[in-house]
Structure 1
Amino acid sequence: MPDFMLSSLTATIIFVAGCLAGMQYRRVWKAEGPRWQLWVFGIVAGAAFLTVGFIPLAGAN
């Protein structure tokens, strides 16, 4: 799939969103908040980091 690549800006935005979701996950976990919030923030953080980790960046050879 050479046509499916992330630009640097898009990868940065996804990475920052993953970091923010991870921080919110930790806050909810420490406060023993609702389980559904743990699932939401955990899935968002995991998907963001997997996306940045496994989809190549445009311009990176």
Structure 2
Amino acid sequence: KTQDPRFSRLLRRHTALEQHVRNMESAKATPAQPVLAMLKREKQVLEGELRAILQGMPVAEAA
């Protein structure tokens, strides 16, 4: 699936989001909970899309 440009784009975005969430959670200051929750939801959506691609299921293209 690394040859699939959509999969590669989703995977890069997911990896960046995961790192951003980790950084926010490990910061000394309390992260803005609404922002952190939004990032986690976006990461979950990306995980679902990546899983669907790996399983060969059709996925609606996100905007």
Give the TM-score of the pair, scaled to structure 1. 0.71
Question: Could you say what the CA RMSD is over the residues aligned between the two structures, in angstroms?
Answer: 1.8
Structure 2: 5+ residue stretches without partners: 58-63
Runs of at least 4 residues off by over 3 Å: none
Q: Percent identity?
A: 8
Q: Give the equivalent residue in structure 2 for 1:30.
A: 26
Whether the 8 Å contact between 1:28 and 1:38 is mirrored in structure 2 is yes
Between Structure 1 and Structure 2, how many residues are aligned?
51
Higher RCO, Cα 8 Å, sep 6+: 1
TM-score, length of structure 2 as denominator length: 0.69
Gaps of 5+ in 1: 1-6
